[in-house]
Amino acid sequence: MTPAIFGISGLELSADERAFFKEADPAGYILFARNCENKEQLRKLTDDLRAIHGRDHLIVSIDQEGGRVVRMKPPEWQRYPAGEAFAKLWDIAPASAIEAARVNAEAMGRELGEMGITVDYHAPFDVRRAETDDVIGDRALGSDPMQVAALGRAVLDGMGRAGIVGCLKHMPGHGRATCDSHKALPHVIASEEELEIDIEPFRTLSAHPLGMSAHIVFEAWDPQNPATLSETVIREVIRGRIGFDGLLLSDDIDMQALDGTIPERSVRALEAGCDIVLNCWAKMEDQIAIAERGGTMRAKTTERLARVHAAMRQPQDGPDTAELLAKRDALLAIAEERAA
């Protein structure tokens, strides 16, 4: 199995994609808005991906957070708020904020599951600061690590009730980045002591089976390499201090924070200790090169992937999506009424 998650170019698989995916046998796939037109089309696409591999347990993933980060868009699918909405409610009623985050995530997860999606790269566990770049911004669940951990746990729990595996991102923390890693490489100069704040939410949820790295240089840990490409950060911080032993994905390997060709970045990420490379742009020449140069999946990665597969379950019985959304809206109205 190729240690990569690949993007798809359009609304349906091309003949070249179908043949390549069957041969390369990647760990899974990631969907974007370019792949999501309507419910019938999207379900057919995810069914086709499973047919290639002949198994139900497959990472078919998406970035569906709510707010600015949505791939399945209204009016075909429901609209969901950004993390900031739950952070504002926390300031008034923390227990209500936790429940609102949970039912919102469960409703979102039910929609994803109906489309054949098994993994959502949600929630960001990044602790927001005054200088945090807007690439995180209102996506964050708060500025206090305990709050971020509590609301993030609620998101993971809600997703889990819907049978969807959520994700701890972006380890070891994106909250101090002052530029967008899609466009440039952020450098964080905080001390190791200060960075304890950033890693605390991840440490609290470290038993979760799936996480994602950050394309950020943390000068206190490794002044030369971003976390994704740093053996030191992955071994000593993510695996060590945080204690995360789940499946570690790179953030999108195509992002401009990284240098070198896409295959070179992929090899460096795997050598540094990432389990899986996330390659989103669906460029066939890059995908072929990653499959050729990335080698086969390590035994430890196979074990960690099996734990992610095991977390893909049938949805639990409970309220339907409409009931969940009504409960969320009633809870979020508490903050809106207080603001008015």
Going from the C-alpha of 106 to that of each of 86, 190, 201, 298, 335, the distances in angstroms are 15, 36, 21, 33, 21
Q: Which residues make beta-bridge pairs with 59?
A: 28
Which one from 16, 47, 91, 182 is the annotated catalytic residue?
A: 182
What pLDDT score does 196 carry? 97
What pLDDT score does 339 carry? 67
pLDDT in tens, 88-101: 999 999 999 999 99
Mean pLDDT to the nearest integer, 183-198: 94
Cα–Cα nearest to 64, from 27, 109, 115: 109
Question: Which is more confident, 56 or 125?
Answer: 125
Predicted confidence band of residue 340 (pLDDT cuts 50, 70, 90): low
Question: Which is more confident, 165 or 131?
Answer: 165
Burial of 207 per CB tally in 10 Å (0-12, 13-18, 19+):
exposed
What pLDDT score does 133 carry? 80
Question: What's the rounded Cα separation, in Å, for the pair 169 and 7?
Answer: 19
DSSP track, 175-235: TT--S-TTTS--EE---HHHHHHHHHHHHHTTTSSEEEE---EETTT-SSS-GGG-HHIII
pLDDT in tens, 149-170: 999 999 999 999 999 999 999 9
DSSP track, 51-99: HHHT-S--EEEE---BTTB-SS-TTTS-----HHHHHHHHTT-HHHHHH
Per-residue DSSP letter, 26: E
Q: Which of 23-37, 133-147, 205-219, 241-255 has the lowest mean pLDDT?
A: 133-147
Q: Is 251 a residue of the active site? A: yes
- As given in the structure block, the two tokens for residue 190 are 């905080």
Quick one: what percent of the chain has pLDDT higher than 70?
99
Q: Which of 5-9, 250-254, 256-260, 334-338 has the lowest mean pLDDT?
A: 334-338
| pTM listed for this prediction | 0.96
Predicted confidence band of residue 335 (pLDDT cuts 50, 70, 90): confident
User: How far from each other are the two terminal CA atoms of the chain, in whole angstroms?
Assistant: 55
Mean pLDDT to the nearest integer, 139-144: 95
Q: Is 182 a residue of the active site? A: yes
* Average pLDDT of the residues of the chain: 95
Mean pLDDT to the nearest integer, 225-231: 97
pLDDT in tens, 8-61: 999 999 999 999 999 999 999 999 999 999 999 999 999 999 999 988 889 999
Query: Burial letters for 6-29: b for 16+ Cβ neighbours within 10 Å, e otherwise?
Result: bbbbeeebeeebeebbeebebbbb
Domain 2-339 of CATH type 3.40.50.1980 = no
Q: Which of 105-109, 176-180, 278-282, 312-316 has the lowest mean pLDDT?
A: 176-180
Indicate if the pLDDT at residue 83 is higher than 90.
yes
Which one from 251, 252, 254, 286 is the annotated catalytic residue?
A: 251
What pLDDT score does 178 carry? 86
